[in-house]
Amino acid sequence: MTFDNLADQAAAEGLQIKEKPLRSSDGRIFGNNIALRRGLRTSAQRACVLAEELGHYYTTVGNILDQRDTEARKQERRARAWGYEKMIGLRGIIDCYVSGCRSRAEMADHLGVTEEYLQEAIEFYREKYGEYAALDNYVICFEPHLGVVELREEI
């Protein structure tokens, strides 16, 4: 999912995206306005931030800026999870394997995300699924290292 695809989705929802000199975060959503920190250098950075802000649009209710509040932290996690699913998902990890990606850098480039965002997503999936997750004819192993195995039927 590219920044432009996400921007189109935001526009279809009636959201406006603007670059602002944010100090405490890379993105913020308020009402129908999404602010991205001015100076995000790459389209991958911009896409990752926009995905999370769209996640807030779809999953968050009220002001969650105070992350000392348990409910605010839960909503932050839901918004990030939405972004991880939109940008990567288990299918994206499998697609990286099928496409021959052999490093995190290659995976991040293939998916259009930053390496940091990819790592955060993998950690999220490890917490969500445990040691492995199965999808179609693939098993994604999260422990001890990320790996994908294709299951083949025996003849």
What is the DSSP code string of 28-82? EEETTEEEEETT--SHHHHHHHHHHHHHHHHH--S----TTSHHHHHHHHHHHHH
CA nearest to 115, candidates 132, 101, 129, 134: 101
Residue 108: both structure tokens together = 């991040």
Examine the pLDDT at 90 and tell me if it is beyond 90.
yes
Mean pLDDT of 120-140: 97
What pLDDT, in 10s, does the model give residues 22-69? 988 999 999 999 999 999 999 999 999 999 999 999 998 877 776 778
What is the C-alpha separation between 101 and 116, in angstroms, rounded?
17
Mean pLDDT of 68-78: 86
What integer pLDDT is reported at residue 154 of this predicted model?
67
Reported as type and span, the H/E element at residue 133 is strand 132-135
